[in-house]
Amino acid sequence: MKITCIGAGYVGGPTMAMIAYKCPDIQVVVVDINAARIAAWNSEELPIYEPGLFEVVKAARGRNLFFSTDTQKHVAEGDIIFVSVNTPTKTRGVGAGKAADLTYWEGAARLIASVSTTSKIVVEKSTVPVKTAEAIEKVLRRNCADPNVAFEILSNPEFLAEGTAMEDLAMPDRVLIGGKETESGQRAIGVLKSVYEHWIPSERILCANLWSAELSKLTANAFLAQRISSINSISALCEATGADVQQVAHSIGTDTRIGGKFLNASVGFGGSCFQKDILNLVYICETVGLKQVADYWNSVVQINDYQKQRFVERMIDAMFNTISGKKITVLGFAFKKDTGDTRETPAIDVCKGLMADNAMINIYDPKVTEAQIHNDLSLGKFMWDHPTTAGTKSPRQNSVSVFKDAYEACKDSHALAVLTEWDEFKRLNFQKIYDSMMKPAFVFDGRNILDHAQLRSIGFIVYALGKPLDP
């Protein structure tokens, strides 16, 4: 059996590496139109950082795992074609800002149809709107010259989380495969199931109909993001009343109906998926006339925006409402720890909010490059119209400096803002940092990972999300 995957990104690369690693009898080829990305997959410097990824790639690469730009050849030869291309939010036209842009998906489907001379199982690995398989089937069927070539479409959404992708792939809570309830649909499900059964117990492989599987992925991300927005909304109430959000989270999390995971208050969720997938869900609800349901899910995104805005306003307010010309050190730029991914990271909005008030920003992140940070901060507009600057100023690029060392980044700074929960930040010598900073020295812990009592005993003024304020 030969598997070909179209798209060598954060999902296609790691998932195929794991399949190849666990299934030595299957040849796996990952193809991409981005030649630089493929070259990096074939090198010692992989294009993405994930703990454990390099070891898995190294073990399988050249044995039964290959990365190539020859999309046509490998798609033509594949028995199972995974499609793991990007499905971003549409930026223009009908549904702009909400609907999924399926340009890349349709391009992949046209490619599959045009080169196929043998029947194929086509697997939706990308996150797509419910009912996408119906559209894809039409594109495949009507663009394939040979009427004897059959296409069976399966939905096999990916539930991995960046930062723990390899663990999630090696021991997933579940694998979901959706297919048609026809004989050929069930046969195709069986083929894909046999791939995963190389290492995943069959009771963890769930089968569903196509539409349920497609909708399950959007729903899973919406529920995860909703939990974060729910606890973040409570963090605002905690600050207003003197309650402590960590104590509240612990108290409710011990209820087995609620559970304790994903209840950390933070400066907001980020990453390429949560916001995009909720907005897509909102759009689908609107198009089928379910306005109340759309509004319900939209509020999850609104609370996330509010949390980032609230954090910046709290910083400015605490620093005597004047941050112009002051150095502020941002610790962490990735959207979460153990990844170098900055897509939709809350750090972008927080930095832009501070820059709009004329602050000088020093940034340190263990895995994000200087070029990436400058690129992220130069793109797009503000997420919110900052009350003091709406329409008057745009962030100045020369007010951002990126450092390779946390201590250097903190020197002469008026404040530290922790925006990513990297473990190494907990081990910093905060006495040394305090001594090198301007006074009063502020800490704004946007992840609640630091020892606030210790920081206060050193002399810092501490603001922690959802926690009682300094007297």
Closest to ligand NAD by CB, 168 or 445: 168
Verify binding: residue 99, ligand NAD, rule CB under 6 A: no
Instruction: Give the single-character DSSP code of 321.
Output: T
Least distance between ligand NAD and beta carbon 156 (Å): 11
Q: Report 21-50 residues binding ligand NAD (CB under 6 A).
A: 31-34, 37
Segment near ligand NAD (CB under 6 A); pick from 139-147, 155-163, 386-394, 403-411:
155-163
The answer to whether residue 342 forms part of the interface with ligand NAD (CB under 6 A) is no
Q: Which is nearer to ligand NAD, 162 or 239 (CB)?
A: 162
Q: Which is nearer to ligand NAD, 107 or 185 (CB)?
A: 107
Tokens (6 digits) for 418 = 């922790």
Tokens at residue 11, please?
């999902």
Cβ-Cβ contacts under 8 Å for 62 (sequence gap 6 or more):
none
The DSSP bridge pattern shows strands 205-209 and 400-403 to be unpaired
CA distance 420 to 292: 34
Show the tokens assigned to 345.
């990271």
Q: How many residues bind ligand NAD (CB under 6 A)?
A: 28
Does 53 interact with ligand NAD (rule: CB under 6 A)? no
CB nearer to ligand NAD: give 33 or 428: 33
CA distance 433 to 425: 12
Cα separation values, 291 from 168, 288, 346, Å: 35, 9, 28
In the complex, least distance from residue 71 CB atom to ligand NAD, rounded to whole angstroms: 5
Q: Which of residues 228-257 bind ligand NAD (CB under 6 A)?
A: none
For residue 440, say if its preceding peptide bond is cis, omega within 30 degrees of 0.
Answer: yes
87: contact with ligand NAD by CB under 6 A: yes
Read off the DSSP letter of residue 61.
B
Rounded alpha-carbon distances, angstroms, from residue 469 to 82, 236, 249, 309, 438: 51, 12, 18, 18, 21
* CB closer to ligand NAD, 111 vs 402: 111
| From 238, 273, 285, 410, the catalytic residue | 273
Which of 7, 466 has the CB closer to ligand NAD? 7
When asked if residue 75 is in the footprint of ligand NAD (CB under 6 A), the reply is no
Residue of closest CB approach to ligand NAD: 9
**Are 131 and 214 within 8 A, CB to CB?**
yes
- The region of 105-113, 166-174, 293-301, 357-365 touching ligand NAD under the rule CB under 6 A is 105-113
351 catalytic residue (yes or no): no
Enter the tokens of residue 272: 């390429």
Helices within 335-451 (DSSP H only): 346-356, 370-378, 406-410, 430-436
Query: Could you tell me the smallest distance in angstroms from the CB atom of residue 113 to ligand NAD?
Result: 12
Residue 135 touching ligand NAD (CB under 6 A): no
Task: Choose, by CB under 6 A, the member of 3, 5, 11, 99 that binds ligand NAD.
Answer: 11
Name the one range near ligand NAD by CB under 6 A: 78-86, 177-185, 232-240, 278-286. Answer: 78-86
Among 50, 101, 162, 421, binds ligand NAD (CB under 6 A): 162
Q: Is 434 helix (H, G, I), strand (E, B) or coil?
A: helix
Burial class for 201, CB neighbours closer than 10 Å (0-12, 13-18, 19+): exposed
Which of the ranges 107-115, 137-145, 301-309, 360-368 carries the binding residues for ligand NAD, by CB under 6 A?
A: 107-115
Continuous H helices in 49-158: 53-60, 71-77, 103-115, 132-143
Strand bridging mode 442-445 / 80-83: unpaired
Strand partners, 4: 29, 81
85 sits near ligand NAD (criterion: CB under 6 A): yes
Footprint of ligand NAD on 271-290 (CB under 6 A): 272-273
Cis peptide upstream of residue 395 (ω within 30 degrees of 0): no
- Other beta carbons within 10 angstroms of residue 412's beta carbon come to 12
The residue (of 15 and 64) whose beta carbon lies closer to ligand NAD is: 15
Of 431, 409, 424, 415, the closest CA to residue 463 belongs to: 415
127 is an interface residue for ligand NAD by CB under 6 A: yes
Q: Does 158 bind ligand NAD (CB under 6 A)?
A: yes
Q: Is 84 in the site for ligand NAD (CB under 6 A)?
A: yes
Nearest Cα residue to 166 out of 24, 51, 42: 51
Nearest approach, Cβ of 107 to ligand NAD (angstroms)? 4
- The yes or no reply on residue 113 touching ligand NAD (CB under 6 A) is no
Nearer to ligand NAD, 127 or 420 (CB): 127
| Between 214 and 239, CB nearer to ligand NAD | 214
Exposed / middle / buried, residue 287 (Cβ in 10 Å: 0-12, 13-18, 19+): middle
For ligand NAD, the binding residues (CB under 6 A) are 6-12, 31-34, 37, 71, 84-87, 104, 107-108, 111, 126-127, 158, 160, 162, 272-273
Write out the catalytic residue numbers.
Answer: 273
